[in-house]
Amino acid sequence: MTPQYVCDVAKGRARPGEAVLRALGLQKVVRYVPREPEPVELCDDASEVLVRAQRIFA
């Protein structure tokens, strides 16, 4: 394990490997959460807003 690799992991430029996680007493967890609604607008050719709504992900 090089000092550059440790620095990259600490700064978020690289993902820690299994050996690093194990040495730190950590485990990788993947989590999925619902998306938040996103605002959307429908505009005409003159960029006049015709409709404002929220996109809901289902």
Predicted confidence at residue 58, as pLDDT, reads: 67
Q: What's the pLDDT tens digit per position in 1-36?
A: 889 998 998 899 999 999 889 988 999 999 998 888
Answer yes or no: is pLDDT of 57 > 80.
no
Three-point CA angle 28, 33, 39, nearest 5°: 140
Nearest to residue 38, comparing CAs of 26, 56, 23, 16?
56
Confidence of residue 48 (pLDDT cuts 50, 70, 90): very high
Tell whether the model's pLDDT for residue 53 goes beyond 90. Answer: yes
